[in-house]
Amino acid sequence: MTKVVICGIIKHKVEKNIKLKGGIGMVTIYLRKDEDDFAELKDKIVIVNDAWFNLHWTSYDFSSDESKRLIRNIDNTEYREDCPGYIRSQFNKDAIVEVTKLSTGCKTALNILNDKERIFNLAECGKNAITEIVKTDSGLAIIHHFIIIDMWLNTKIKFITNDKREVVVDNGSDATKFLYEYWEK
């Protein structure tokens, strides 16, 4: 652990390296109907995204175009490259606040983008965050209930059902239709 000064504030930086796997061209979403579904992946599933982000953000790449897009489109703010670890306040654009103040949906999206080894729960994500998450070209997520994907979205999404069947859809409309039929069973 090293001590660094960021914008006049002393911070302790945890040095971490997270191995990233190559993208598959679409996000993968596991569909979990029962607590026993995907039990073999239990150690890889992150339920509390806020806490995970707050513990691991120092190893994330906020300068990438994808990170900037997620922060801008989900929380309507921007990362301060001149002040690492800080964003402009959503409520007062002249103020800066720590990245730990991002919404849970935005934190979940950044977790998915930056940690390809874990599966992140989408339960606390709003529609805006889910829309941006499914636009990412890789990453792993899990849902426990029906969600609506923006029907005009033109992106591939891979779902893995509780019986381990893989289903790839080409757009938001097909995704919502598939999810509706899946959860109605």
Q: What's the token pair of residue 114? A: 């930056």
Q: CA nearest 139: which of 124, 156, 152? A: 156
Q: What's the token pair of residue 115? A: 């940690």
| Per-residue model confidence (pLDDT) at position 84 | 84
Whether the CB-CB separation of 158 and 168 falls below 8 Å is answered with yes
| Per-residue model confidence (pLDDT) at position 71 | 94
Answer whether 0.85 is exceeded by the pTM. Answer: no
Q: What is the pLDDT along the chain (185 residues), one digit of tens a residue?
A: 344 444 444 443 333 332 323 334 789 999 988 878 888 998 999 999 999 999 999 999 898 999 999 999 999 998 888 888 888 877 777 788 889 999 999 999 999 999 999 999 999 999 999 999 999 989 999 999 888 888 888 889 999 998 999 999 999 899 999 999 998 87
Domain residue spans in the chain? 26-56+103-184
| Per-residue model confidence (pLDDT) at position 22 | 30
The 3-state secondary structure of 89-146 reads: CCCCCCCEEEHHHCCHHHHHHHHHHHCCCCEEECCCCCHHHHHHHHHCCCCEEEECCC
